[in-house]
Amino acid sequence: MSIRVRFAPSPTGPLHIGATRTALFNYLFAKKHGGKFVLRIEDTDLERSDSKFEKDILEGLQWLEIEWDEGPAYATTNYQLPTTNYGPYRQSERTASYKKYIEKLLAEGKAFYCFHSEKELEEEKEKLMEAKRPVLHLCEYRTMDPEEADILKEAKPNCIIRFKTPAGRKVVFKDLIRGEVSFESDLLGDFSVAKNLETPLYNFAVVVDDHEMTISHVIRGEDHISNTPKQLLLIEALGFKKTEYAHLPLILGPDRSKLSKRHGVTSVNEYRNMGYLPETMFNFMALLGWNPGDDNEIFSREELIKKFSLEKVQKSGAVFDLQKLDWMNGEYIRKLSPEKLYDRTKKFFPENYTLYPKPYTLKVIVLEQSRLKKLSEIGERTEYFFRPPEYEKELLRWKDTDYEEIAASLDVSIKLLSNLVRFNLNSIEKMFLEEAEKKGDRGKLLWPLRVALSGKKASPGPFEIMEILGKEESLKRLEMAKTTLRGDAA
C-alpha cells in the first residue's frame, strides 16, 4: 500500500506545540515507510482564518525542516514542490469538489435540509442538558420530501444541511494506537455537514479531501476521536475507501491538564524567538508520547525516522517538561561549532557586537557555550564584553571586607596585570593564583577582580575574562572599579 499522510491545520491561530507534534509524527511515519507527507490548509472558517496565521504555520514547519512533499505554494518555500493532481491544498479553493458530493448525498436521500433556527437548536440543547440527556439533534426534517424542502428554502434560506444518521448502528474502527473503538450511531444525532452547497463543515470537508488526496493514514490528536464515527458514516455513504486511523495522546502541562496558554508559551515560533534550536524541538517533540524503547533521549533526524513506529506511541497523555527541553537544548548547543553558534546567536547579541572583530566574538561564544540553555541567554551573559559594566560598589565586597581592603586588593591586581609580560591564560592564572594563595583566602583577591571585569554576581572566571578583554581593557576596568569605590560615577 502506498503511504500518504496529511497534516491539516486551520489558520485561525499560531502553530501550536500540539499541532506541530501531530505534523512531526505524520512526517516521521511517511519518511519511515517511503510515503508522502501532504500539507493541507483547512481554511473553510473564513471569519477566523487569517493569512498571517497560515504564514506562521508554514514558517514554523520550515524552521523545523518538516518538509511537505505536497502542499500549498508559499513564497519562502526553499524546496521545489512536485506538480500533482491532488491539489489545490487550501480548502477555500476546493469548493467545487465539496458541492459535487453534497449534491450526491442530497440526491440519494442521505442528507437533508434542516430548517430549525439557531434559537430553536440552542433551546433544545439547554433542555437536553437540564435533563442530563445526550446533546444531539434528531431532526424532524429528515423525512421531508425533497420537493417540499426546495419550497421551504425560499422562506427559510438560512437552513443548513445535515447527514441522515442511520439508527441502531454500531460504528467500529481499529485505532492503530488504541485498538478497537466503537460508537453507537444513536448517540451521534443528525449532524451538520454544510451550511449550504458552497460551504462545507469540518467533518464533511475532511472526508472529501482525504478521499481525493488518497490519504491512507489519518494520524491526529485524540481530541478527534469523537469525529471519527461521523467521518466513517460519511465515507460509507459516499462509497469512499476507508482510511486507517491513529489518535495521538494529548500533550499535558505540569499539572497534567491539557497544555494551554496558562502553562506558558505554546506557539512553536515563540520557542524559536526564545532561543531554542530547531534540532532540539524536533527531537524533544518526537518524544512527546512516543518511546523508542531504550534510555536514549538524543537522536538525529535520521535515527528518529528509522526508529519511529505507531506501535510505540503511548495511549496516555505526554507531559511537556520545560526543564527537560532546556537540558536538551543545552546539549544541542554544545554540539555546535563556534562558527555555527555565532551565526545562530547573532540576533541575541548586544547591538554593538558588530563593532568588534569576529575572532573576538567567537572567543566570547566559546567561553559561554557550555553554560547556555537557550540562545537568547547569550546577550545578557556576554554584554560586559561589548560595553563597560555598571554595578553598585557593594557588589565588589567579599564577605566582611571593608572598602579599603577592596581598594588595596584592586591595587594588587592592577600591579600584577601591569607587570605581566606574557599575556595568555596560563600566565594570568599562574600569577594571580600564586598571589591569592598568599592571602589565605582566594576570594579577597579574585572576587573584586572578577566583579570589576564583569560587573556580575555570577560569571566565568576572571582569568578567562581577562584573556578575552585583553590587558589594556582589563586594566581600564580595574581603574573604573576604584572610581566606583570612591563613590564617583561608575
Task: Say if residues 231 and 207 touch (Cβ distance below 8 Å).
Answer: yes
Which residues, 6+ apart, have CB-to-CB distance to 108 below 8 Å?
A: 237
Q: Cell for 293?
A: 524503547
Which stretch of DSSP H or E encloses residue 141? none
261 labeled part of a ligand binding site? yes
The H or E element that residue 307 is part of is helix 301-307
Cβ burial 351-367 (10 Å sphere, 16+ → b, else e): eebeeeeeebbbbbbeb
Q: Which of 261, 399, 438, 457 is catalytic?
A: 261
Q: Is 174 a catalytic residue?
A: no
The rounded distance, in Å, linking the Cα atoms of 71 and 320 is: 29
Determine the Cα–Cα distance for residues 40 and 8; give it in Å rounded to an integer.
5
Nearest to 45 by CA among 192, 190, 200, 160: 200
Residue of 457, 276, 280 lying closest to 376 (CA atoms): 276
For every residue of 309-377, which 3-state class applies, written as one string? CHHHECCCCEECCHHHHHHHHHHHHHHCCHHHHHHHHHHHCCHHHHHCCHHHHHHHHHHHHCCCCCCCH
Q: Is the peptide bond before 254 cis (omega within 30 degrees of 0)?
A: no
DSSP annotation of 255 reads T
Q: Quick check: 21 and 247 in contact, CB under 8 A? A: no
Indicate the pairing of strand 170-175 with strand 179-184.
antiparallel
**CA dihedral sign of residues 209, 215, 216, 218:** negative
Exposure string (b/e) for 264-287, b if CB count within 10 Å is 16 or more?
A: eebbbbebbeebbbbbbbbbbbbb
Q: How far is CA 241 from CA 94, 149, 216, 226, 424, in A?
A: 20, 31, 9, 20, 73
Helix axes 202-212, 228-238, angle to 10 degrees: 60
Residues at the annotated binding site for ATP? 261
Report, as residue numbers or ranges, the catalytic residues.
261
Residues at the annotated binding site? 261
